[in-house]
Structure 1
Amino acid sequence: MTPAARVQTAIEVLDLVIEAARSNGAPADRLISEWFRARRWAGSGDRRAVRELAYRAIRACGEIPANGRAAMLRVAADDAQLAALFDGSRHAPAPIDPVEPVASGGVAPAWLMARFAASGVDSPEALLDRAPLDIRVNTLKAGRLDLPEGAVKVAPVNGWRYPPETKIEQSEAYLQGMIEVQDAGSQLTCEVVAARPGETVIDLCAGAGGKTLALAAAMQNEGALIACDADRARLSRLAPRAERAGASNIETVLLDANREMQALDRFVGNADAVLVDAPCSGTGTWRRNPEARWRLTDKQLDRYAAIQSRLLDVAATLVKSGGRLVFVTCSLLDAEGADQATAFLARHPGWRAELPVLPAGTVRGSGLRLSPSHDETDGFFVARFIRL
């Protein structure tokens, strides 16, 4: 493909991403992969170039663009070489009309920027940087760890960091279960749980089990680790991951949304620790999913906050006296962080907050906030509560 044809292809891909964002359809990475899967003629260099152009445009547009061309014109407005490729030649985008619409720039929609300001978020532009690829060393697997080249040690955790484009899942260390892909911030939130061998620990929103596997390693496969979720498809991915990682103390429990206690009744008052890695807006993960900021609405944020409150109340019934409840969201917004922690303590006087001690993070209310700008991690809020 010529450079101009790559630009036109990126515009067509962006049209699909924008349509999906409006209809809450598939994420950009999946759409782009599927687009190329149906076009095997595109070489690896073409695929890489188109992907980079598409994501460059996504990151450049604070509000959802009218279409892919308007999004790409946002980039071309500050890049004369790119603008020159709009020449109308074969397979190239049509020449730029000075009066045609150009997508707006910025970090996020105005309402969301106001929420960031109210939540004390500085340097929100860091959310649009490309995220590195972090891995966690799996202590359940013994033997010599032969890591792929390019790793830099991530000091606060038992992990290493690679450039974003690293194909780590093709490495022998990954295939043998000796490492797991996990952001350093996510690894730190798992440390707040302080899971120990022999305990009963519940991961209430386990999903595909990334944090569950970290907890299993901390417990050294001793004790009971209960991985729960209401999404059958996501939870089903945990078993093969656990087998590869050598995690043998995990029991999965499929939940019925809004009827979680039907499956959890036997654990009431028995858990040493419960992790609530709650569904949230994902504002802390925009480095990986930049088009997510086009999907979020004020009403959706309120719905996430309501779900988080309800799940915290469910989790509170499961913890024994002296036990720990850890609340985590991958969000930088107080509505899904400090405000939730304050509201939980107001609803549950038999609990106290215990500020996590981590080698990173900024105190926000009764918890800690991790952020790309301050900690070079994804954005997270984490709080720990102790049952009296």
Structure 2
Amino acid sequence: MTPAARVQSAIKILDTIIDRAGNKGAPADRVVSDWARANRYAGSKDRRAIRELVYGAIRACGPIPETGRAAMLRLVEGQPALAELFDGSTYGPPAIGRNEAAALGGVAAPWVIRHLGKSWISGDEAEALLDRAPLDIRVNSLKVSRDTLEVPETGEKLLAPDALRYPSGTQVEQWPAFRDGRIEVQDHGSQWACRAVAARPGETVIDLCAGAGGKTLALAAAMDNRGVLIASDTDRNRLSRLRPRAEKAGASMIERILLDPGKELAPLSQYRGKADAVLVDAPCSGTGTWRRNPEARWRLDKPELLKFSETQANLIRIAAQLVKPGGRIIYVTCSLLNEEGSDRIAAFLTVHKDWTATPLDLPIGRPHGVEGAQGTRLTPFHDGTDGFFIAQLTLRQ
């Protein structure tokens, strides 16, 4: 493919991404993958170049653009050399019109910017949300230690004891260590969210929103495969992915429980009041993951944010019924909006007087939230991780 043809292909892909984002359809990575499968003539170099153009344009735009061409013109403003590829050639984009407008730039739509500002995310903190994220891995301590791990490339040792960092795009999925479960891809901040649970061998721990089980696997390693570890979720498809991952990782103590939306407590009734810890890795807007999913900014709307907040409040209430006296809830969101973080903790404590917010002893992040309802916040700018809010709630004995 010619460079101009790559630009035109990127524009077409962006048109599809914009349409899907507006209709809550397939995410950007799936759109890009679908295009690659449907256009086998594009070689590996072409696909990489087109992907870079697509995600470069997404990061360059703030609010959702009207068209893929407008999004690409926004990228041109930061990379003027691309303008020469709008040459009207057979497979290239038409020349740029004299008064043709580019999409708007910025971090996000104005209403989202206002919410971030109210949550103390602005300036450099906000800009860092759109940086490219590195690739972090967690060494699976059930099989090997970080010091004895053998992999093709030497990674940077991070603060978490099992964490290594590599440049974005490192093909760790092709390494034998990944295929045999010695390593898992997991952001450094996510690893600290798991360590905040302080799961110990012999405890009863519930991962209430386990999804495909990335955090569950980290909990199994922390518990050294001893105790009771429940992975539950309402999404059958995502939860089903945990079985082969657990087998590969040697995590033999995990029990999977599918939950019925609206009746989540019924399948967990035998654990009511018995859990030492419940991890609530709640569904959220994902504002802390924009480095990896910049197109998520275009999908968020006010009704959806309100729905997330209601879901998060409900999940904390469910978790509270599972914890035994002296036990703990670790509440985690990969969001930097107070509505999904510190506000949820404060609202819960206002009603549930037998619970307290217990400070987390983490060597990373900063305290965040009102006095008496504080948690820990991690941000890309300050901590070099995805954005997280992590709080610990303890039931008085």
Shorter-chain TM range is: over 0.9
Match of 2:141, SS state, is coil
Q: Which one of the candidate residues 134, 137, 141 is aligned to 1:135?
A: 137
- Post-superposition Cα deviations, 1:103-140, rounded to whole Å, max 9, x if no partner, equal 10000000000001100113211111111110001010
Contact 2:160 2:191 in 1 (8 A): no
Q: Which one of the candidate residues 379, 384, 392 is aligned to 1:384?
A: 392
1:235 and 2:239 aligned: yes
Match of 2:294, SS state, is coil
Q: Which one of the candidate residues 371, 377, 380 is aligned to 2:379?
A: 371
1:111 and 2:119 aligned: no
| RMSD (Å), alpha carbons | 1.0
Structure 1 residue runs without a partner (length 5+): none
Query: Pairwise mapping of residues 1-388 of structure 1 onto structure 2 (< 5 A)?
Result: 1-122=1-122, 123-142=125-144, 144-365=148-369, 366-388=374-396
How far apart are the structure 2 equivalents of 1:61 and 1:141?
A: 43
Alpha-carbon deviation of 1:100?
2.2
Contact 2:234 2:258 in 1 (8 A): yes
Alpha-carbon deviation of 1:150?
4.5
- Post-superposition Cα deviations, 1:249-292, rounded to whole Å, max 9, x if no partner, equal 10000001111011111111000000000000000000110000
TM-score computed with the length of structure 1 as normaliser: 0.98
Match of 2:280, SS state, is strand
Match of 1:386, SS state, is strand
Contact 1:150 1:163 in 2 (8 A): no
Sequence identity percentage: 59
Alpha-carbon deviation of 1:41?
1.2
Instruction: Judge which range, 360-369 or 156-165, deviates more.
Output: 156-165
How far apart are the structure 2 equivalents of 1:78 and 1:242?
A: 44
Alpha-carbon deviation of 1:79?
2.5
Letter matched to residue 38 of structure 1: A
Contact 1:157 1:184 in 2 (8 A): no
Letter matched to residue 190 of structure 2: S
How far apart are the structure 1 equivalents of 2:174 and 2:228?
A: 31
Match of 2:132, SS state, is coil
How far apart are the structure 1 equivalents of 2:227 and 2:98?
A: 66
Contact 2:202 2:228 in 1 (8 A): yes
How far apart are the structure 2 equivalents of 1:98 and 1:64?
A: 23
How far apart are the structure 2 equivalents of 1:105 and 1:76?
A: 12
Letter matched to residue 375 of structure 1: D
Alpha-carbon deviation of 1:88?
0.5
Alpha-carbon deviation of 1:80?
2.2
Letter matched to residue 5 of structure 2: A
- Post-superposition Cα deviations, 1:275-328, rounded to whole Å, max 9, x if no partner, equal 000000000000110000000011110100000000100000000000011100
Alpha-carbon deviation of 1:163?
0.8
- Post-superposition Cα deviations, 1:50-105, rounded to whole Å, max 9, x if no partner, equal 00000000000001011100000111123221011111112110000122232100
Structure 2 residue runs without a partner (length 5+): none
